[in-house]
């Protein structure tokens, strides 16, 4: 066996020889470095295992959270489905309400239209009635006015006759005689119901059914106009049926001759 073969055999079989050779060759530092690397790797593996355990814990927590969130999402989904169902029910109810309300509005509009037509017909009927009523009233008023005028003229004629009879008797008793007698005499727009002229004076007669104090004043003014026109003394005469005491006293105080019937 040669030297080479013996050296190789010792390396294989003799560990001390092998280590000695390795040390001689600088393998001791390499082995130390390998050991450090193995220790560092072991530390790294342990750290990674710790991180994985922490991550696994976190993943478990996250998974629980996701499960909780999923549960909540399912609950929310149920709530949304319930809300959606309620919204659909509410929408259907509101839709029916709007349809019913629209139907009622149309019905009310139809009734309002019918009532409007009825009111228009009623208003037109009432307007025609009022027109006819006021036309009838105007006609009645015109007829009453004519009747009052006729009655006034008739009353004036009757009272003028009564006054003439009484006054003519008083004139004869006073020894005077009548020169002329004029009904509805006109002196420059001043109307005198009855004018009786004697040989000495003129009687200016005013006939009123219900004479007032202002009628006495008007009679006195007429007497002055007649006196100035005819140049004779005048005697104002007031004749009526409903003559108040105050009017009678005032007339007599002013020198008016009063006849009551």
pLDDT, tens digit, for every residue of 8-31?
676 677 777 767 766 666 656 766
Architecture of domain 176-260: 3-Layer(aba) Sandwich (3.40)
| Confidence check: pLDDT of 237 > 90 | yes
Distance between CA atoms of 240 and 232, rounded to whole angstroms? 25
Q: Can you give the pLDDT at residue 155?
A: 63
**Is 238 buried (19+), middle (13-18) or exposed (0-12) by CB count in 10 A?**
buried
Q: Is 82 helix (H, G, I), strand (E, B) or coil?
A: helix
Q: Can you give the pLDDT at residue 178?
A: 93
Distance between CA atoms of 145 and 220, rounded to whole angstroms? 28
What are the boundaries of each domain within the chain? 1-155, 176-260
Instruction: Render pLDDT for 163-220 as a digit per residue (tens, 0 to 9).
Output: 888 889 999 999 999 999 998 889 878 899 999 999 999 999 998 888 899 999 999 9
| Confidence check: pLDDT of 257 > 90 | yes
% the chain with pLDDT above 90: 26
Q: 61 pLDDT band (50/70/90 cuts)? A: confident
| Confidence check: pLDDT of 149 > 60 | no
Residues 198/171, Cβ–Cβ less than 8 Å: yes
As a whole number, the mean pLDDT across the chain is 84
> Would you tell me how many other CB atoms lie within 10 Å of the CB of residue 222?
22
């Amino acid at each position: 066996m040669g030297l080479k073969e013996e050296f190789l055999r010792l390396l294989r079989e003799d560990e001390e020889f092998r280590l000695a050779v390795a040390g001689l060759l600088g393998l001791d530092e390499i082995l130390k470095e390998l050991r450090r690397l193995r220790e560092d790797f072991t530390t790294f593996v342990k750290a990674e295992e710790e991180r994985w355990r922490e991550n696994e814990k976190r993943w478990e927590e996250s998974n629980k959270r996701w499960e909780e969130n999923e549960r909540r999402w399912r609950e929310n989904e149920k709530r949304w489905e319930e809300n959606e169902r309620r919204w659909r029910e509410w929408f259907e109810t509101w839709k029916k309400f709007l349809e019913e309300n629209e139907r009622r509005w149309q019905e009310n509009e139809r009734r309002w239209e019918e009532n409007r037509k009825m009111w228009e017909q009623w208003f037109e009927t009432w307007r025609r009635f009022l027109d006819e009523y006021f036309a009838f009233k105007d006609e009645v008023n015109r007829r009453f006015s004519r009747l009052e005028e006729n009655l006034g003229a008739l009353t004036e004629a009757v009272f003028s006759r009564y006054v003439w009879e009484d006054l003519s008797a008083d004139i004869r008793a006073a020894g005077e005689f009548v020169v002329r007698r004029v009904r509805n005499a006109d002196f420059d727009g001043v109307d005198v119901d009855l004018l009786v002229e004697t040989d000495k004076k003129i009687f200016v007669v005013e006939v009123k059914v219900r004479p007032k104090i202002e009628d006495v004043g008007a009679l006195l003014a007429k007497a002055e106009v007649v006196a100035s026109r005819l140049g004779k003394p005048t005697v104002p005469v007031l004749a009526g049926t409903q003559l108040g005491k105050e009017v009678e006293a005032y007339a007599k105080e002013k020198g008016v001759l009063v006849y009551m019937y």
